[in-house]
Each structure stands twice: as C-alpha cells, then as structure tokens.
Structure 1
Amino acid sequence: MAISSAATLALDLLAAAPRLGLQAEDAQWITILDVLLESVPTRFQQARMSLCRFEGEMLNGHTPDGVVLGFSPNEDQDEDYISASVWVKPGHDTEKHSPAHVNQISLIAGFVVAGDAGPQSFDALRDIVDSPHFDELRFWVREGNALDEQGTRSLLRSLLRREQLTWALERGILWLQLCSHIHDETDDWDEVIVFDSSVLLSVLADRSYPVIDDTPQTLDDTEYAELLSLFNVQKMNDYLRRLPALRAERAAAKARSMVETSDSPGTQNAAAIALPAGAAGEVVDRYEEAARAQEGEDHGVKS
C-alpha cells in the first residue's frame, strides 16, 4: 500500500511524541496507527496539529490544554478512506511537568464507493477497532451524494442480515453520521444527525409497521435499508407512502422479466401492501426521538 509524503509526516509527528512529553508506554499508540495504515486499503494525504480543550470548551479566551494530531485523506476525491485523530493530553501536575499521555484515538471510517463492497469487507478492522484503544467506528454520509447513500444502504443491509460489524454494534462503538454541505466556498461539511449503536440496535430489531386494520407488515432487508438510509423523517414518511407503488412496480418488472426469459405461464405477481397516508412506523418515531434528544444535549446537531 502506498503511503503519501503527508502520511509519512503524520507518522513523524507521532514519532516525535517524547518531545511533547509523552510517556514511554504511549509508543503503543504509534504501533496501532502503523497497523492501521497497513490494514486499510487507502492512504492518508493530510496531517494537521491543533490545540484544543478537553473539557469541551471553545478556545475563545481559554488556555489550550491539549493537542490533536489529525490524519485524513484528500476529501475532494471520491474514494474510500480512513481518518484518525490522536488526542494528546498533558499530565495532571503541569507545574512539575508530569508526562502527558495520549487520551484517545478516534477512527472515522468513511466511504464514498462502497456499493459493491463484500459483506466481510470491514472484518480486517476488527482486531484494531475492537481493542480498548479505540472508542468508536463512525460511518458518515454526505447528504445528497449518491455514492455515499449507496454505500450506506449496502452497510445497513449487511447489518440487518448480521453479515458484518455485529461485534461493533454489540460493543456500542458503531456510529452512523449524516453530514450536510453548508459552505460551498470552503467545501465544509456540518454534522446534521448522528445515531449511536443503541439507536441502531433499536431500529434494526423491529421492522413491523401498522397498516390497514392494524395488521402489521414487515419490510424486507432492501426496503428497510432504504428507509433507514433516508435519515430525514419527512423523507421516511414519503417513502412509506410510496412503498405500495414501488412494490407493485418491482413485481411487474419481475413478471415481465420472467415472461421474456421463459415460456412458462406460471409467473406470479406479488401483492403490495397498502400504507395509510402519514403512517411512518416506529422506526421514524425512534429516529425523531433520537434527534430531539441529541438537540437537547447540545451535541452540535443541526435541525
């Protein structure tokens, strides 16, 4: 795997950890990042270092108490990538210049071309991400990007079928994040809404919806993945209202295909369910509740 000069610079910054006052045992973090670079089919193209506050405060008027070393790709390119942030925190007794330590490494697994990824494509990350050194595996989706949305549907289908990343869900470290393009001049992206493992487990567990005469109807994996990938409550409602017509169209297309490829007259046309207008189902309610809860906790989620 090719490693760019910027990635080499990033590793050099970590190798200079002793000059930042890092403890000797924190060399394990450098080893982990090395393994990460060798295990993921991508490369880092940017390295950055910034000052920060670990108590969640903005730097305005405050003295920084830590350093963030960031490693990311050139996000203008449509390719799968891994971004990582290494948080370096000073020791407790700053007057005695006690050694600092690496507070955490956040791994953000982003994909823009993942529609044809195999069901086991993320298993190579398990030994790294499942270690106590990493605290989250976050997939982010750029709103309106067809490739991102295709990859999200593929990921959700594999989660529904328990084909991959079950370990990340059960450990509570899998996150799904939707981002919106808000600054054309700077190409910045803003977090819109984030769902953690507890929300994902909840909505993946039950696919029953109230329909005519309160008869429950279950969506198949493809339909449910499509619904979950929409994020937006209004879009979910619209999709559920259109679902009967979509099912009828798929059934008709399947019937035509079977007639064209076979002389057998036994083709069956699958019946479509009928959803009353505005029937969003429990998953929409759960998503909306999660969004409200995050806004209440002031986690930076935008409405």
Structure 2
Amino acid sequence: MVGFNSTSFHPATFQLTGFPGQEAVYHWIAVPFVVLYVTAMVGNCLVLCIVWADRRLHQPMYLFLCMLAVNDLGMSLSTLPTVLGTFCFHSTDIAFNSCLAQMFFIHFFSMVDSGILLAMAFDRLVAICNPLRYAAILTPPRIMRIGLAVVVRNFSVLFPFPFLIKRLPFCRSNALSHAYCLHPDVMKLACADISVNVSYGLAVLLLTFVLDLLLIFISYVVIVMTIFNIASGRERLKALNTCISHICAVLIFYIPMMSVSVIHRYARHTPPLVHSLMSIFYLFIPPVLNPIIYSIKTKEIRKSILKMFSR
C-alpha cells in the first residue's frame, strides 16, 4: 500500500521499473550497464587527466572538452545509484524527494551538455573564421564565464521543476516507466491538471535544446561558407577535420534526445521497451562515446594517450 501525506497527497515512494517481465535476468541485464558506467568514468577521467597534465592542451578547445567530460561524469553519477540498485539488487523503491532531486540533476546535466556543445560550436566558429584572434577572443577567463553562464542559465530554468511537481497530488499508481526519475514520467502519475507542467516543460525545451541546436546549425552554416572560400582543397579538408569530433558529439546527443521527445509526445502507444531503449541511448551513450570520439579523432589527445601508455 502506498503511503500518502494527508495534506499534499504525495506518495512516500515511487516504484522504479527496469524491463517488466525480465526480473529473473536482471543480474545479466546489469552487466552492460556496469560496462557503460565503467567506460564512461574511465574515458572521461582519462580525458581530464591528459588535458591537466599536458600544458600544450591548455587551449580553448580542450578546456571546453574538459567541461563536457565533467558534465558527462555528472550525468553518469546521477543515474548510477538507482539503475544499479534496480538491476543488481532489485531495489526499486525511491523516496519522493530523492526522486525529485534525481529528476532535477538528470535534466540539469542534459541541458548543460547542450549548452557546452553550443559553446564548442562557437569555439570552432572563431577558430576557423577568425584564427588570428582566436587566442585573444577565447581567453581562459572568458571561457570560464561562458561555462558559468551555461550553468546559471540551466539551473535557473530548471529550478521550478521540483516545485511544479510538489504542488501536484498523486493518487494513482506510483510506478515509473524507468529505473530513474524523469519529469514527463513523474508528472503523468498526477491526478490533477498538469497543463502548467506541460507548458513550462515545452517552453524550457524550446529555450534550451531547440535554441542551442538552431545556433549550432547557424554556426556551421557560417563555418562551411568560410571553408569553401578557402582556395586550397587541402586547407579546406584540414579545417573541416577539426570539426568532425564536435559534429559527432552533437549528433549522438541530439538524435536520441529528439527521438525520446517525439516518442513521448506522438507515439505514446509504442511498446514500453521502445521507450526504455531510446531513453537509455539518450542518457547513457553520449558519456561513453564522447571521450572515445575525441580520443580517436583529435591527434593531440591521441598522441598524449599513446605517450602515457608507452611509459
């Protein structure tokens, strides 16, 4: 029986869900999640250590990459306790306030990720369109201010989310659709009008993810126009090659995120397994692939890794 607060009708706990009907093999399902977490932790920590140790990498591009690595670590840590608790220990209960805290941090790190990718697009724009003033424009203090602005913006727009949930009464099922708490998933369990939550969530989506993606697209339009004005084909290829890692990072972040949004809004009758898998791709794959992509495609980081292991 779900316990309720007599004044606010908040459930004492929410029930997390892994893969319904597969409880007998949860210990096997836990294995790929453990591999993903270990890969994300090791990869992002390795990137941070390499940039910290090599003073030649103390440049704007790599400082933004460090921000992305720290944020990916935060994203992984925000889901780790409940995901491993669900699949390793069959612990599916999460307290109401703990669920709201996890919901906030998952969405916060996701939105910060989007802001950092926009900042990295600006970095590539300056590096290609105005290379002579690159170091003068993107100074370390200015980079720190950009990072702080990303954090403040996303914290400010997300701060109302837990309070918008807390004002709602819950008198239906307390079973969530995932092994972690997400705002759309939690608000669907309320037995009251959630139009304010839906409208505010849509406004946040437009002012963060959609706006960031639009600005990234505009940045690359300018970058491509600048590259095609370069006379030498070899120089064009060299300039474009510096953007490949960032383009891959943008694609592996935005494609799953947009797929999850579309499924939640327009394909609600799809099997629950599809929702779970798309959500997993959205939350777990970028922190794993980002350090791998930058390690493979960025010559300086690749050389530093080889030098570290050759010792």
TM-score, normalised to structure 1, is: 0.23
The structure having more radius of gyration, on CA atoms, is: 1
TM-score (norm. length: structure 2): 0.22
Kindly indicate which of the two structures has a greater share of residues assigned to strand: 1
